[in-house]
Amino acid sequence: MIAVLTQAVRPTARTIAWRPVAGVAAGLVLLSVLLVEEDRAQMVMAWLGAAVTASLLVAAIRDRASRLLAAVPTPLSARRLLRLAIVAPVPVAVLVLVVGLRQPDGPLPLLGDVTALTLAGLGVASWMADERGVAWGAGLPLAWVAGAQFGNSSAGAVGDALLWWHTDSLVVGAIAAGCVLLGARR
C-alpha cells in the first residue's frame, strides 16, 4: 500500500487544484499585513484562518477521477489521505506563520481548532456520497465558525455548541476522527 501511494504522489499532486491553496495563502498574508497594527483583529484572523484552511483541506479531497479510480484496489480513504497529506503542509504552514505566531497563546490552540474543524468536515464527507459529501464537509467549518462569530451571544447549550470547535477542540477532533474511521470502513 505504502509503495503504491508513494508512486501516486506525483500524479496526484498534478491533479490537485493549487490555485485555491495559493489564493487562501495569499489572502491570509495580505490580511495579516493590512491588520498588523490592529490587536483587536487577531482573534478575527485566527477564526477566519481556521475556517478557510479547514474548508480548503476538506475540499482538497475531492477527486474528479474518483469514479474512474473506484475500480482500483487502493481504497478511497487512502487516496483521500494522500491528497490531504500533499495539500495540508502549505496552508497550515502559512496559517501558523502569519496568524498563529501572533496569537497570545501561540499557534497550538489555532492548530487544534483547524484540526477539529477539518476532522469534522472529513467526518461529514466520509458519511455522504462522494461529491455532495465533500461539498457539505467543506461547508461545515465555514458554517460552524460563522455560527460562533454571529451567534455566540445565544445563551445555553446552543451558544456553547457553536464554540465547541474552539473550546473543546480535542473532544470534537476525537469524535470526528472516530466518524472518519467508521465512515471509511463502511
Partner 1 sequence: MSAGAALAVEVPVQASAPRWRVVRALARQEARRHLRSPMLPLGLAGFVYLAWVTRTSDDWSGIEYGGMPGAGVTLFLGVSLLVASSFRRERAGLVEDAPTGETTRATGRLLGAGVLVLVVAAATAVQVMVMRAGGGVDLGDEPGRTLHAHHTLPEVLQPVCVALVAVALGALLGRRVQQRAATTIALFAFWYLTAGITWLFQAAPVRPWSIVMVHPVEVRVGPHSADPLTFPEEWLLSAPDAYEPFWGRLVVSPELATAHDMWLIGLACVLVAFALPRRTRGRLLVVGGMVAAVAVIAQYAVAP
**For binding to partner 1 (CB under 8 A), which residues are involved?**
17, 19-20, 23-24, 27, 31, 35, 38, 40-41, 44, 48, 51-52, 55-56, 59, 62, 135, 138-139, 142, 146, 149-151, 153
Nearest-approach distance from CB 142 to partner 1, in angstroms: 5
Minimal distance, residue 148 CB to partner 1, in Å? 11
In the complex, the smallest distance separating the C-beta of residue 103 from partner 1, rounded to whole angstroms, is 17
In three-state secondary structure terms, 129 is coil
The burial of 136, by beta-carbon neighbours within 10 Å (0-12 exposed, 13-18 middle, 19 or more buried), is given as: middle
**Which of 13, 171 has the CB closer to partner 1?**
13
**Smallest distance, Å, CB 4 to partner 1?**
27
In terms of CB distance, is 144 or 180 closer to partner 1? 144
- Residue 5 or 135 having the CB closest to partner 1: 135
Half-sphere exposure of residue 46: CA atoms within 13 angstroms, side-chain side: 22
Task: Tally the C-alpha atoms within 13 A of residue 81's C-alpha that lie toward its C-beta.
Answer: 13
Closer residue to partner 1 in complex, CB, 73/104: 104
Are 111 and 92 a contacting pair, CB within 8 Å?
yes
Residues 6+ apart with CB under 8 A from 29: 94, 98
- The per-residue DSSP string of 19-37 comes to HHHHHHHHHHHHHHHHTTT
Residue (123 or 137) nearer to partner 1, CB: 137
Full DSSP string of 92-118: HHHHHHHTGGGSTT-SHHHHHHHHHHH
Distance of closest approach, residue 23 Cβ to partner 1, in angstroms: 6
